[in-house]
Amino acid sequence: MAIKTKIARHYALRQIIVGFACLILGAWGLVDYVWTIPGKEVAYARLQIIELSRTGLESEQSANVLSPDAKKAQEAVFAEINAIFNKGLADLQESGKEIKSQKDLQEAFEQIGQSMSETPDGQWLNQLAVISRGLQAERHLPLTEAKYHDAFIAYEQVSDIVDEFGAIEKPHKYDRIMKGLVFLPCLPFFPYFLWIYYRTKRKVYVLDDDGTLHSPLGEWPADSIAEIDMSKWMAKSIAHVVHTDGKRLMLDDYKHRDLHLIIGAIASRLYPQDWDAQAEKVKLGDSGDSDSDHKIEIDSEAQPSKDPATSQIA
């Protein structure tokens, strides 16, 4: 009956498990590097503006005269608004819109506001607008909605934001480096390990009853196999079949199930005194001789003499 190999189960599981582990680690690094860490950086930066604004809104001031804390917060709010609109303008210009006049700029601002109205950035702009009005408004403690409406609404808003997101910590500067250098490089190894799995699975070795070996290198009849190199078999489970034309075919039993039977069949045919059909070394005592063939016959003349006393009595 012909011997046919398959990919070894333990080897297949190893490639699949390691491949998917690389996929998970790489995807985790990609998501953190591209979205999670930048999102935390943005959230932390915005929280700093909110905390500055709350400090400014807690200070008293007369109409049209900003307190030092309110002025500092207002500058941060204006800088954030300008950054958002500048980014929007850059995106519009990249899309082909030309801005040559004040009218074009005004239209661009309106377009940016409309496009961001339903986005998180648009909601953030609305919050900044409320905070800015509150920072400029007259207020005295205690703040009441009836007496200091704009300042009260702004203070309630920033207080809610701080209470909800006050635990946000600034991402460490090495977080992106860690994700970029350690986890992201794992991603390309996923297709690599799958490729190894499919390549090994496609390799099939068959040994016919007449000794013909079928392999990825082609069909080798029994008389074309000159020898089999078993020097690495006991240490690494690897043997090399050598063709009469000098070609060498590596047979790795770790990767393929039942390959040891093919190796054993070839080795026992070529070197029956050294290897059996299971690719195991022939033991010295396996010659088939019975123990009786090695018994030493004792000559009667070589037997020890009887006791002198006994012989005299006889």
151-202 pLDDT, tens digit per residue, is 999 999 999 888 877 777 888 888 888 888 889 999 999 999 999 999 999 9
* Rounded CA separation 64/278 (Å): 97
Nearest-Å Rg of the Cα atoms of the chain is 43
* Three-state DSSP class for residue 65: coil
The model's confidence at residue 24, banded by pLDDT at 50, 70 and 90, is very high
Contact between 26 and 185 (Cβ < 8 Å): yes
Query: 286-300, pLDDT tens digit by residue?
Result: 544 444 444 444 444
Contact between 261 and 251 (Cβ < 8 Å): no
Beta-strand relationship, 238-243 and 225-229: antiparallel
The model's confidence at residue 237, banded by pLDDT at 50, 70 and 90, is very high
Tokens 């003499």 found at: 305
Average pLDDT value for residue range 130-143: 92
Q: How far is CA 172 from CA 96, 177, 252, in A?
A: 37, 10, 47
Phi-psi region of 207 (alpha: psi -120 to 50; beta: other; left: phi over 0): beta
Task: Please tell me the predicted confidence (pLDDT) of residue 286.
Answer: 54
The model's confidence at residue 285, banded by pLDDT at 50, 70 and 90, is low
Q: How many CB atoms lie within 10 A of CB 144?
A: 12
Q: What percent of the chain has pLDDT over 70?
A: 90
Average pLDDT value for residue range 38-61: 92
Contacts of residue 64, defined as CB under 8 A and 6 or more positions apart, other chains included, come to 136, 138
Task: Please tell me the predicted confidence (pLDDT) of residue 177.
Answer: 86
Contact between 33 and 184 (Cβ < 8 Å): yes
CA atoms within 13 A on the CB side of 5: 27
DSSP state of 42: H
Q: Give the tokens for residue 154.
A: 């702004």
Residue 133 phi/psi, 5° resolution?
A: -65, -40
Task: Please tell me the predicted confidence (pLDDT) of residue 290.
Answer: 40
Which of 43-47, 59-63, 293-297 bottoms out in mean pLDDT, i.e. has the lowest? 293-297
Task: Please tell me the predicted confidence (pLDDT) of residue 45.
Answer: 92
pLDDT at 65 over 80: yes
Phi-psi region of 24 (alpha: psi -120 to 50; beta: other; left: phi over 0): alpha
Query: 88-125, pLDDT tens digit by residue?
Result: 888 877 877 777 777 777 777 777 777 777 788 888 98
Task: Please tell me the predicted confidence (pLDDT) of residue 311.
Answer: 40
Residue 290 phi/psi, 5° resolution?
A: -80, 160
Tokens 């040994």 found at: 207
- Packing angle, helices 37-57 and 120-136, rounded to 10: 20
3-state helix, strand, coil in the chain (%, to 5): 60, 10, 30
Please name every residue paired with 7 in a beta bridge, in sequence order, or none if there are none. Answer: 256
